[in-house]
Each structure stands twice: as C-alpha cells, then as structure tokens.
Amino acid sequence: MSAMLERIRASIPALPPAEQRVAKLVLADPRSFASLPVGELSERSHVSKPTVVRFCRSVGYDGLADFKLKLAGSVNEGVPFVHRSVDDDDKAGDIVVKVIDNAVAALLRYRNAAAGQSVERAIAALAEACRNGRRIEFYGVGNSGIVAQDAQHKFFRLGVTASAVVDGHTQVMSATMLKPGDCAVIVSNSGRSKDLLDVADIARKKGATVIAITASGSPLAHETSNGAHNILLAADHPEDADRYSPMVSRLLHLMIVDILTTGVALRLGSAELRPMLQEIKKNLRARRYVETPSNDIKPSTP
C-alpha cells in the first residue's frame, strides 16, 4: 500500500462518520476514485458532494482536484516501493544498489503522497514567525536530533532566530518558554518518544504552532493531525530500523527541512536575503587557508 493510502487509513479514526465512508471508498478502489467525478463519488460513499471535498481537506490536501492528482500519481508510479533489505552476505556493489534504490523510491513515494496544504501551512507559519522575530525551535533526539541541528543551520543562514534542542530536559524548558506566534518543529521517526510527545503537549498549551515531521499513525501524528495550531508533515517509509540505524527516514526528514527552508526563503523575498547570503559566503571564503588557483596562473617549472 502506498504512503498516501497508509496515511488515509491511519486518519480514519479521527474523521467524522461521513468522511470515514469516503476514506473507505478510497481504500477500496483508489484508481477508480482518482478518475470518477464528484457526483458519482458522493453517491458511492452515500454522502454529499461537499463532504467529499471536506474529506480531501481533512487529510491535508487543497481540495478534490489536488487529492485526485496525488492519488493517481501514488497508485500509478512506476518506481516499485519495495524495501530491499541489506543481507549479511551482500557484496559492496549490492549494498550500493540497495541503499540507493531504497532512498530514491522513498523520495518519489513522498513526492506523490505529500499533502500540499499541510506543507503550505507549515511554510506560512514559519515565514510569519520569521517576519515577526518570533522563536523557531527544532526538537529531535538521536538521529532526529541530527536533522534538528541541520534545520537550525539552514534557518540560521536566513537570518532567523532558530535553535536546535536535543536534550530532553532542555527541551521541556525550551517548550515552556514558547509563546503564541512561536513555532515548535518536532522531528521524530517513530513518533513515540515520550520527551518529544511532552514537548508537543507543552508547546500546544503555550499557544505555539506545533509542526510535526513524523510517521502517520504514530502517537505524535495523532496529537498534531487536528487543530488550528497543529500541522502534521507525515513521512512514511518501509525501513527495518530495528536491525539498522534509520537511513531512509533521515534522508526524508532532511528533504522536508529543505522544502520548508526553500519555501520560507521565497516568502521572505530576495531583496534583503540575497545580499546577506552573499556577504556570508564572502566572509567564509576569507577564512579559507588555501584558495583555488585561477586558470590564468601557470604552475612554476623546476
């Protein structure tokens, strides 16, 4: 089952009864759902036409057209979404192929399943926090802590007040100091870390916008799937994290951070941002010990 369908299945308990019927129709025959007109979809699921559209928005898409476009891509994608596990007797060449194939398949899978509305909301909230000088805190532990640090680095270069918090006790203190208008971005592969679930709860109570990058169906996803100040960016993938350290999930999370960074940079505009980035690069180049020789300098002869 594709990541998009897995996400829809996981969201069913949180949907109203009428929208649950639409969700079950999608899961029963996704290809037909992607091609049928709204009138026939409403008849088959025994709901009104507006309910079909509301369902699409409830699961994170802009509307029926956006939902059907992503659904068609999800069920018709030519790249097989099969996780090829690394075996003990694999040679180096086998490892190269399997690791890269897993990564490429996961990225394409996310491309087809990504909920544009949720991404748009996350970018808007982060950009608004940047404009108003509010705090943006990135939270993660273990492998997800590395992603949080990468996110802090990328947003820092945009001139944004951002920080990565990876210690459990410090996370609680940081979340307690959040205020309305601030953003708490929580990165978790499993979505089951008690520290991060506590952070989400505290940040929400303080009125901050909570953006969760995690697997759909996880406890963290359930906590952030509804509410005006909760935004779920679901990232699903087939990976045996019990046997090996998560790799595909980290790549997915880093890519989502890149998407958010790019979106925020575009929202902030280039009038002030571009000169600052150019100055940063200029100052960094000045700290290099060895400059690359220019093409017009010929090597000396002995």
Helical segments of 190-269, H only: 194-205, 219-224, 248-268
Q: What is the pLDDT of residue 82?
A: 43
Q: What is the rounded CA–CA span in Å between residue 39 and residue 47?
A: 10
Q: In the chain, where are the structural domains located?
A: 1-76, 116-277
The H-or-E segment that residue 184 falls in is strand 183-187
Contact by Cβ (8 Å): 241, 188: no
For all residues of the chain together, what is the average pLDDT? 84
Residue 126 or residue 67, greater confidence: 126
Which residue type occupies 222? H
Model confidence at 208: pLDDT above 90: yes
- In which band, very low, low, confident or very high, does the pLDDT at 76 lie, cut at 50, 70 and 90? low
Contact by Cβ (8 Å): 161, 155: no
Which residues are within 8 A (CB) of 267 and not within 5 positions of it... i.e. 6 or more apart? Answer: 123, 124, 127
Q: Which two tokens stand for residue 104?
A: 């490429």
Query: Considering the entire predicted model, what is its pTM?
Result: 0.69
pLDDT in tens, 81-118: 445 567 777 788 877 877 887 788 788 878 877 888 89
Q: Write down the CATH number for the domain with range 1-76.
A: 1.10.10.10
Q: What is the pLDDT of residue 254?
A: 95
For 116-277, the fitting CATH number among 3.40.50.10490, 3.40.50.300, 3.40.630.10, 3.30.390.10 is 3.40.50.10490
pLDDT in tens, 167-199: 999 999 999 999 999 999 999 988 999 999 999
pLDDT in tens, 80-89: 444 556 777 7
Q: What is the pLDDT of residue 80?
A: 44
Helical segments of 46-160, H only: 49-58, 64-76, 92-113, 116-131, 143-156
Q: What is the pLDDT of residue 249?
A: 86
Q: What is the rounded CA–CA span in Å between residue 64 and residue 33?
A: 10
